[in-house]
Structure 1
Amino acid sequence: MSTTLRWTSADFAALPDDGKRDEIIDGDLYVSRQPHWHHQFVCLRLGRFLDEWNEQTKAGVVNSAPGVVFADDEDVVPDVVWISAARLAHGLDAAGYLTVAPELAVEVLSPGAGNERRDREVKLKLSSRRGVQEGWIVGWVNRQVEVYRREQAALRPVATLFAGDELRSPLLPGFALPVERLFAGM
């Protein structure tokens, strides 16, 4: 008989609001400290560039750190998402949480080996399993963007972009961001 604790949404709701970012992935609880200054700087800039593109296209919605509840044991908080208007139309529950995968999920790496493992492996695997079409992992320390796209029912690495490269996506026709602009001012 297993005695392993599997966290659920009900357990999650009972936690005190201590300002930390708590997530449940496959029944495991992950707790993060308040985000680092550079982490939030990059999240805000990326959200701004995506939102400027989205304002022109009216294709969907950009949001930062939304709650995504895929299942009773999968409550996560991607750093930035883009979701099409069509998907969003049936993707929010009564409490205001996304219950469907956004087309694009972005994780900006937080300092620490455990945080990086969670973002690169655990959350990317969940995004892949739940139907995210594209994932970006942004490393502000190395000033790079890793791009993963859905191929054969899984997110697979397609590019690692640096300062001289331009970030584009087939999900976002016309979106083009020189990677160096993302980190400008840091």
Structure 2
Amino acid sequence: MAQRTTDTMRWTAADLDLLPDDGSRYEIVAGELLVSRAPHWGHQKACVRLCAALDAWSTATELGEASIAPGVLFGESDNVIPDVVWVSRGRLEVILDAAGHLTAAPELVVEVLSPGADNERRDRDLKLRLYSARGVREYWLVDWRAQQVEVYRREQASLALAATLLAGDTLTSPLLPGFAYPVAGIFA
């Protein structure tokens, strides 16, 4: 699972090109290198189910697109691979570069927690602050072990916890008119 490097150096986007193509996921947040191994089956199922629901809604409404694990290149020291994103059609045209990476914040970012203190710190602290600073409008933090979803929404200039949804609740969003998905369906 994700681990902090013990180096004190500041990593950049150029450094990512020098890392091995070994199946690990390499991300940089505030110059800190984060390395993740292949996630648990439950983690991946939650990603697939949420992306499928967002994709079906997007296809029906033609309002945007959902994707699993896209590269988001915010700058030289902030390059991440969120588990799932949703981007409106108009915004996608502006922020998608020729290499197929997002170069600015998608409206919605979903991260599914992996076990371990470093992983929790990465998603609850580092990435929450990054997404907040970069203009993400909504952040869903999914805990497949506890079967709950924390919904953070932009209030003024930052993301704030708006709701903690449990298995009996339904996931909705003002960003996604008419979207409704049972939280239990994420974990079924």
Bucket of the pairwise TM-score, normalised by the shorter protein? over 0.9
Q: 2-side partners of 1:96 and 1:163: how far apart?
A: 35
Match of 1:163 in 2: 167
Say if 2:44 is the partner of 1:40.
Answer: yes
Name structure 1 gaps, 5 residues minimum: none
Match of 1:173 in 2: 177
Q: What TM-score, normalized to structure 1?
A: 0.96
What secondary structure, in the 3-state scheme, does the structure 2 residue paired with 1:157 have? strand
What secondary structure, in the 3-state scheme, does the structure 1 residue paired with 2:102 have? coil
1:1-45 per-residue CA deviation (whole Å, 9 max, x = no partner) reads xx9411011101110111011100000000011111110011001
Say if 2:59 is the partner of 1:67.
Answer: no
- Structure 1 stretches of at least 4 aligned residues deviating more than 4 Å after TM superposition: none
Q: 2-side partners of 1:153 and 1:178: how far apart?
A: 29
**Which amino acid in structure 1 is aligned with residue 169 of structure 2?**
D
Superposition deviation, residue 164 in structure 1: 1.1
1:28-74 per-residue CA deviation (whole Å, 9 max, x = no partner) reads 00001111111001100111111111111100110000000000111
What secondary structure, in the 3-state scheme, does the structure 2 residue paired with 1:150 have? strand
Say if 2:137 is the partner of 1:137.
Answer: no
Aligned residues: 182
Say if 2:33 is the partner of 1:51.
Answer: no
Q: 2-side partners of 1:112 and 1:91: how far apart?
A: 33
Q: 2-side partners of 1:12 and 1:168: how far apart?
A: 36
**Which amino acid in structure 2 is aligned with residue 182 of structure 1?**
I
Say if 2:87 is the partner of 1:83.
Answer: yes
Name structure 2 gaps, 5 residues minimum: 1-6
Q: What TM-score, normalized to structure 2?
A: 0.95
106, 109, 112: which is aligned to 2:110?
A: 106
What secondary structure, in the 3-state scheme, does the structure 2 residue paired with 1:89 have? helix
Match of 2:154 in 1: 150
